């Protein structure tokens, strides 16, 4: 996959060794739950894996939702996106490993996401946006593989002005594992002195790692972060207990000082490395009221969001997009719309 790759990992900084508080031996965080993503359709009908299927919101906190987009090989004319739709109260983080998505929003933000780039959109008090493949990509078809993560905002941040961060592929911070068998792409968060490019409202980390068959990745992980390991592609053995995890499965971890993942020697796609998403953050521990495109603290705030959207207070579609049959009704059965 053409997310950011590096020919010679030996030139990269190494992932720092985990350290335990009080000088004791660092403990691997145990796997406490494994779940398998449900398949769904998003937007105008593109296939996704609902990566957080079966995991309690309390264990996901500060994250609320994750879709793995594809991986799918489209024929000509088949690539799909979303229509214009609103959001309030959280952030969408869209990372594209293969394929191209164009993004535009009602504040004038936007850009093209491709080749390991990330678009980090803070919806805050309200925004409208569209996420769609460019016309030439629709015409040509091709492989699409990406993800969209929803990061919750604390109640004090839900009413911030919208913000748009275009994290280009060359901005991704790169490290290698100690044995050189894993490439670690740090999109947000810190590993030692290395910091990912994403600016976040609460402390969190987002990592895409590629691990060669048989190699091991050990990551120091803050004790006050939750810890989620999701397999984008391949076969993993997670934790000191070597719990098997395959494409579309997530492992929720308990307390400890480090995360340990081995890429299985035998991969389902022979010769391919393990592709992993590692997420963690400091939980907000606030009530979550979530309906459709809005993530707030109370049901009253959700009702207000729908009212404000109907009243046009979440923004306007740019004039060049206005058509007589423009349909802006937010749906409640589909998290992206
Ligand atoms: Mn959206």
* pLDDT tens digits, 12-42: 999 999 988 787 899 999 999 999 999 999 9
Out of 134, 168, 202, pick the residue that ends a domain.
168
Q: How far is the CA of 249 from the centre of ligand 1 (A)?
A: 23
Eight-state DSSP code of residue 242:
T
Asked if 233 and 122 sit in the same domain, the reply is no
Give the domain extent around 64: 33-168
- Cα 113 to averaged position of ligand 1 atoms, centre (Å): 14
Asked which of 168, 194, 229 is the last residue of a domain, the reply is 168
Q: Which residues contact 136 (CB under 8 A, 6 or more apart)?
A: none
Q: Are 131 and 149 in contact (CB under 8 A)?
A: no
Q: Is there a cis peptide before residue 147, judged by omega within 30 degrees of 0?
A: no
- Counting the structural domains of the chain, the total is 2
Same domain assignment for residues 155 and 202: no
DSSP 3-state of 11: helix
Q: What is the pLDDT of residues 148-180, one digit of tens each?
A: 999 999 999 999 999 999 999 999 999 999 889
Q: Where are the beta strands (DSSP E) in 224-315?
A: 228-233, 235-238, 243-246, 249-253, 258-263, 274-281, 289-291, 294-296
- Residue 133 neighbours by CB distance under 10 Å: 23
| Both tokens assigned to 150 | 């929803």
Q: Tell me the chain's radius of gyration from C-alpha atoms.
A: 20
Rounded distance from Cα 116 to ligand 1 centre (Å):
19
Cα 274 to averaged position of ligand 1 atoms, centre (Å):
28
**Ligand 1 midpoint to CA 299 (Å):** 20
Distance from Cα 14 to the centre of ligand 1, integer Å: 35
Distance between Cα 85 and ligand 1 center (Å): 6
By DSSP bridging, strand 46-50 and strand 38-42 are: antiparallel
Give the tokens for residue 146: 């990406």
Sign of CA dihedral 281, 284, 285, 291: negative
Residue 183 domain-assigned (yes or no): yes
Q: What is the CATH number of the domain that holds 102?
A: 2.60.120.10
Task: State the DSSP H helix or E strand holding residue 56, giving kind and residue range, or none if neither.
Answer: none
**CA pair distance 152, 294, nearest whole angstrom:** 10
Burial class (CB in 10 A: 0-12, 13-18, 19+), 278: buried
**Helix (H) / strand (E) containing 139:** helix 135-140
Q: Is residue 312 part of a domain?
A: no
Give the distance (Å) from ligand 1 centre to CA of residue 76: 24
Using the mean position of ligand 1's atoms as its centre, give its distance from the Cα of residue 277 in Å: 20
What is the full per-residue pLDDT of the chain (337 aa) written as tens digits?
A: 568 999 899 999 999 999 887 878 999 999 999 999 999 999 888 899 999 999 999 999 999 999 999 999 999 999 999 999 999 999 999 999 999 999 999 999 889 999 999 999 999 999 999 999 999 999 999 999 999 999 999 999 999 999 999 999 999 999 999 889 999 999 999 999 999 999 999 999 999 999 999 999 999 999 999 999 999 999 999 999 999 999 999 999 999 999 999 999 999 999 899 999 999 999 999 999 999 999 999 999 999 999 999 999 999 988 877 664 545 555 444 444 4
313 part of a folded domain: no
Q: Is residue 95 part of a domain?
A: yes
Ligand 1 centre to CA of 218 (Å) is 33
CA–centroid distance, residue 147 to ligand 1 (Å) = 12
């Amino acid at each position: 996959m053409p997310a950011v790759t590096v020919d010679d990992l030996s030139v990269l900084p190494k992932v720092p060794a985990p350290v335990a508080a009080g000088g004791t031996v660092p403990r691997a965080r145990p796997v406490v739950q494994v779940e398998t993503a449900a398949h769904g359709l998003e937007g105008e009908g593109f296939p996704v894996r609902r990566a957080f299927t079966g995991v309690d919101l309390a264990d996901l906190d500060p994250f609320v939702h994750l879709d793995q987009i594809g991986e799918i090989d489209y024929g000509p004319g088949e690539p799909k996106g979303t229509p214009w739709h609103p959001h309030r109260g959280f952030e969408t983080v869209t990372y594209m490993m293969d394929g191209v998505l164009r993004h535009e929003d009602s504040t004038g933000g936007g850009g093209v996401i491709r080749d390991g780039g990330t678009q980090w959109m803070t919806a805050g008090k309200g925004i409208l946006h569209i996420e769609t493949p460019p016309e030439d990509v629709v015409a040509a078809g091709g492989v699409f593989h990406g993800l969209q993560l929803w990061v919750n905002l604390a109640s004090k941040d839900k009413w911030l002005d919208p913000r748009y961060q275009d994290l280009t592929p060359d901005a991704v911070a790169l490290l290698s594992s100690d044995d050189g068998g894993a490439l670690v792409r740090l999109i947000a968060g810190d590993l030692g002195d290395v910091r990912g490019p994403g600016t976040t409202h609460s402390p969190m980390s987002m990592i895409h790692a590629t691990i060669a068959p048989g190699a091991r990745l050990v990551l120091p992980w803050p004790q006050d972060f939750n810890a989620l390991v999701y397999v984008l592609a391949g076969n993993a053995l997670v934790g000191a207990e070597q719990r098997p995890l395959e494409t579309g499965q997530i492992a929720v971890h308990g307390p400890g000082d480090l995360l340990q993942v081995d890429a299985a020697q035998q991969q389902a796609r022979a010769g391919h490395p393990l592709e992993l998403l590692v997420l963690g953050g400091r939980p907000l521990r606030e009530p979550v009221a979530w309906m459709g495109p809005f993530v707030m603290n109370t049901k009253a705030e959700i009702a207000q969001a729908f009212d404000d959207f109907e009243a046009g207070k979440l923004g306007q579609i740019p004039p060049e997009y206005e058509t007589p049959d423009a349909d802006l009704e937010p749906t409640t059965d589909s998290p992206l719309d």
